[in-house]
């Protein structure tokens, strides 16, 4: 589902969905690959498809603990069936003689001749050791058929798929030891601002600790990127020019925080234009309006630059809605559309002028249907609400929030993958 359009947005600002599509259209996927052992491949991106070496299941096997038998023998042996075999998983049983049954366990191969498995709770053994069935039994019951999940040669995983735990388990079930994955995307991180100091340093009057570097570094690492941290850069064109040249020469993508607005101390756009090209600036979203996208000239078509706002919540939101899908596309992944569903608002809020507003909310499940409530202060520097929020309530341009009305809710869990 795409974001709702904003017919009355501020002139010159891109709609969120249009900005996403322009970013994705500009993304160039990695082509270099390497071989990676399965036990250290978590989070890596497949560079080639994986096909099944083995059918799954490899043979007809029992779906539960019970007794394997011929269905016809139940009608012809009313005095019960002798149990002549015991078949655990991992063995190769001989054929089942007529007029008998086998004790069988989950995952064990079905002996030739048997055509159903009766769960042990539907059976009882008499004093002579003969098995009797209670209730109706159907042919083929509780048997997993050879190849019913997939056959040899079936495509299991496609190029661009991220290797999460289920995918790794699937590959291990095929006996695969190593896979071909794309090399890790290198992302240079540049923090601009004379007011910034690193955590642990003395905080003088008017200074702020650099939270964006830690936050964005963690988000990039969660996506499996290699972070090239270039630290804090002074608010001067010369300092930024040097940092961006270094970033261009050391990374596949550059992320620069701060300095993307239009003030006298905001140098990112003019320096970007000098060193490359500005593709777009400004998105109809609150927070995050100053988001900037461009490209630094260089070898192989240059290096893309994402200019994030300096306020930490604005930086977080623009990363999640715009930066993350672009980075995923550069990794060789296929970013998913934004997931959203309707939720009732449990509060009133003024209308956002000319932009979609993304309110940080928590879902209250006390009623029959969930209700969105503000997670805390909504300022673009207030990370505390972002830490508590279940997601964003997206409010269309110039539309006040009315308690009880439905609005689009974007769960934050979608950004963790």
**In this predicted model, what pLDDT tens digit does every residue of 133-177 receive, in sequence order?**
999 999 999 999 999 999 999 999 999 999 999 999 999 999 999
Residue 264 has what pLDDT?
58
Among 71, 147, 83, CA closest to 113? 71
Residue 260 has what pLDDT?
75
**What mean pLDDT comes out for the span 333-356?**
96
Give the range among 6-20, 42-56, 106-120 with minimum mean pLDDT. Answer: 6-20
CATH architecture of 341-416: Beta Barrel (2.40)
Residue 417 has what pLDDT?
83
Parse the chain into domains and list their residue ranges.
16-34+184-331, 41-53+154-182, 61-144, 341-416
Q: In which element (H, E) is residue 237 found?
A: helix 237-250
CA distances from 148 to 61, 78, 111, 145, 378 (A): 11, 33, 18, 5, 52
End-to-end CA distance of the chain: 18
Q: Is the dihedral of CA 413, 414, 416, 417 positive or negative?
A: positive
Name the β-bridge partners of 187.
227, 253
* Contact in structure between 400 and 351 (CB atoms under 8 Å): yes
pLDDT digits (tens, 9 = 90+) for 260-308: 766 556 688 889 999 999 999 999 999 999 999 999 998 788 999 999 9
Average pLDDT of the chain is 94
CA distances from 76 to 81, 98, 137 (A): 10, 10, 14
Give the DSSP letter of residue 214. H
Q: Is the pLDDT of residue 77 over 80?
A: yes
Which CATH code, of 1.10.10.10, 2.170.190.11, 2.60.120.650, 2.160.10.10, is assigned to 61-144?
2.170.190.11
Estimate to the nearest angstrom the gap between the alpha carbon of 173 and the chain centroid.
23
Residue 2 has what pLDDT?
45
Band the pLDDT of 241: cuts 50, 70, 90: very high
Among 174, 219, 187, 168, CA closest to 36? 168
Band the pLDDT of 250: cuts 50, 70, 90: very high
* Contact in structure between 174 and 52 (CB atoms under 8 Å): yes
**What mean pLDDT comes out for the span 73-79?**
93
Q: Is the dihedral of CA 145, 146, 147, 149 positive or negative?
A: positive
Query: Same CATH fold, 341-416 and 16-34+184-331?
Result: no
Phi, psi of 98 (to 5 degrees): -65, 145
Structural fold of domain 16-34+184-331: Molybdenum Cofactor Biosythetic Enzyme; Chain A (3.40.980)
Band the pLDDT of 1: cuts 50, 70, 90: very low
Residue 263 has what pLDDT?
59
pTM passes above 0.75: yes
Q: Is the pLDDT of residue 4 over 80?
A: no
The runs of H, that is alpha helices, within 115-209 are 165-173
**What mean pLDDT comes out for the span 217-236?**
96
Residue 280 has what pLDDT?
96
Which tokens go with 50?
A: 């994986």
Query: How do 66-69 and 101-104 pair as beta strands?
Result: antiparallel
């Amino acid at each position: 589902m795409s974001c709702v359009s904003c017919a009355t947005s501020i002139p010159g600002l891109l709609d969120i969905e249009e900005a996403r599509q322009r970013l994705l259209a500009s993304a160039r996927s990695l082509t270099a690959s390497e071989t990676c052992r399965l036990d250290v491949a978590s989070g890596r991106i497949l560079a080639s498809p994986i096909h099944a070496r083995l059918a799954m299941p490899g043979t007809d096997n029992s779906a539960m603990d019970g007794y394997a038998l011929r269905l016809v023998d139940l009608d012809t042996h009313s005095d019960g069936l002798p149990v002549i075999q015991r078949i655990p998983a991992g063995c190769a049983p001989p054929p089942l003689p007529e007029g008998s049954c086998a004790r069988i366990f989950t995952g064990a191969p079905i002996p030739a001749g048997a055509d159903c498995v009766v769960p042990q709770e539907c059976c009882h053994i008499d004093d002579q050791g003969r098995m009797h069935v209670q209730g109706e039994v159907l042919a083929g019951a509780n048997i997993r058929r050879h190849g019913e999940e997939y056959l040899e040669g079936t495509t299991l995983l496609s190029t661009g798929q991220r290797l999460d735990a289920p995918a790794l388990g699937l590959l291990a079930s095929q006996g695969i030891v190593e896979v071909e994955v794309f090399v890790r995307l290198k992302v240079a991180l540049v923090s601009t601002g004379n007011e910034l100091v690193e955590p642990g340093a003395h905080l003088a009057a008017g200074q702020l600790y650099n939270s964006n570097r830690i936050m964005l570094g963690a988000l990039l690492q969660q996506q499996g990127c290699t972070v090239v941290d270039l630290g804090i850069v002074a608010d001067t064109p010369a300092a930024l020019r040097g940092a961006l040249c270094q970033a261009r020469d050391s990374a596949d993508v550059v992320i620069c925080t701060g300095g993307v607005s239009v003030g006298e101390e905001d140098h990112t756009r003019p320096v970007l234009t000098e060193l490359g090209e500005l593709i777009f600036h400004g998105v109809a979203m609150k927070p995050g309006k100053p988001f900037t996208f461009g490209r630094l000239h260089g070898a192989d078509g240059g290096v893309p630059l994402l200019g994030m706002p300096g306020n930490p919540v604005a930086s977080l939101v623009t990363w999640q809605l715009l930066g993350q899908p672009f980075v995923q596309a550069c990794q060789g992944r296929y970013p998913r559309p934004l997931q959203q569903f309707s939720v009732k608002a449990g509060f009133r809020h003024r209308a956002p002028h000319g932009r979609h507003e993304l309110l940080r909310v928590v879902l209250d499940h006390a009623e029959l249907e969930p209700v969105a409530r503000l997670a805390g202060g909504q300022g673009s520097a207030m990370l505390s609400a972002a830490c508590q929020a279940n997601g964003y309530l997206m409010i269309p341009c110039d539309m006040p929030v009315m308690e009880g009305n439905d609005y689009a809710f974007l769960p934050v869990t979608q950004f963790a993958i």
